[in-house]
Every structure is written in structure tokens, then in C-alpha cells.
Chain A
Amino acid sequence: ILNVEQSPQSLHVQEGDSTNFTCSFPSSNFYALHWYRWETAKSPEALFVMTLNGDEKKKGRISATLNTKEGYSYLYIKGSQPEDSATYLCAFESGGYQKVTFGTGTKLQVIP
């Protein structure tokens, strides 16, 4: 069983604040790291996929970085807005046969 951990489990931030959270994953047999956003009453939606050490991806105010050597990825949200409220999931894809393991998620609540 692969250990994919996310921290914090939940957080509340004020509208306009910037925030970040962490995904930790095994540093061996790495293939790709995915980030998903899961809004209440909706399905998880893919945000980013990163495959190379040092990768950085950006979509609007949200960005992510990847360190495969030490086994972590950060997700950053700049100037949080209430619509950013969601659970953010990371998923570690191991080599071999594209086996994906999801973390337990970070639940973000942005307070207006």
C-alpha cells in the first residue's frame, strides 16, 4: 500500500489570503503526480499533472510545484476567493502500469 499524505487535513483562510498545502508521496518508482479539485456536490476535476522533478504548473491563481527526489508537491493559491473552497486531492502515479493512489485531501474553506 503506497503512502500518499496530504497536509493540512483542512484549513480556513480569509478571502484575499494566499495559501498552500502539501502532498507527500514515495520518492521511488515515481511516474506522475496529479492534483484534483473536488467541490461540494460535484465530481473531482483534474487540475494539473506533473511528471518531471522541478515541474511547475499554473492555472490562473493556482500553481503547483514538484520535487520527486524528496517526494513532495505543493499547491499554492494566490488571493483565495470563496469559489476556491473545495477539497484538493493529490494522486501519485507509480511506474509500471500507471497505478494511481489518491491522498486523503485538504479541505479548503475561504471565508468571505
Chain B
Amino acid sequence: SQTIHQWPATLVQPVGSPLSLECTVEGTSNPNLYWYRQAAGRGLQLLFYSVGIGQISSEVPQNLSASRPQDRQFILSSKKLLLSDSGFYLCAWSEGLAASTDTQYFGPGTRLTVL
């Protein structure tokens, strides 16, 4: 069966510090991968998605970036965090073109607080 891991679970970082969140998926090949953020009192905002190694699409302009160095690994990064980067970050995967619809499966999330 497929599993998705995210770490760390919680993170408190000062403004201006770098960020690296990691997500890995097991039990599937060539998944679509997604990074979402939920800011306080708001819905899920898609940040990045990837359909393959090295292929990243950005949905919103921001100071975050994403990379996919391996098929089942997705990394969210920032060189300098802003206060507005605080939120709950979710990684998700889907079967992509192998499935008829894009049902997504979410990781446990990372609670990021920028002080």
C-alpha cells in the first residue's frame, strides 16, 4: 500500500531563516506531487505541483521554491522566511495520468510558525 511521509511535524523559525520541508511517498511510481498551504482561517492553497522528476509548476508568486530530486521525493524550500509564510503545509500525491481522476492523498502536514 502507498504511504506518504512529511517532516518535520512542527517547526518554529525566525524571520529571515531558511526552510526545508521534505515529503516522500512509498508504494507508487511516477506520482503527481503537490505542496499546499493553509494559512490561518483560510482554505487550501496550491503552491506547487510536479508531474515528474525536475518538473515543477508554481501556482502563486512567493518566496518559496520546490524541487523534486527523485521520483518520490518533494522538497519545499525558502532562502528567507517571512512572517506570512506561517501556516500548515501539506504534501499530497496522486496517481496522475495512471488514474481517471485526480484524487489526492495527503501527508500528515507540517505546522510552520515564523516569529
Contact = CB atoms under 8 A, between A and B. Distances in A.
B43 A104 contact: yes
Contacts, number: 49
Nearest to B91: A43
B90 A43 contact: yes
A32 interface: yes
A42 to B, nearest CB: 8
Nearest 5 A-B pairs (CB), nearest first? Answer: A104-B43, A43-B106, A98-B102, A102-B44, A32-B101
A interface, how many residues as a size bin?
20 to 34
Count chain B CB atoms within 10 A of each CB in A31, A44, A45, A98 and give the residue with the most.
A98
B101 A104 contact: no
Interface of B: 32, 36, 42-44, 46, 90, 94, 96-97, 100-109
B81 to A, nearest CB: 23
A46 interface: yes
A13 to B, nearest CB: 22
Given A51-B101, A98-B101, A102-B43, 12 more contacts: A32-B102, A43-B106, A44-B104, A49-B103, A93-B101, A93-B102, A98-B32, A98-B96, A98-B102, A100-B46, A102-B36, A105-B43
Interface of A: 31-32, 34, 42-46, 49, 51, 89, 91, 93, 98, 100-105
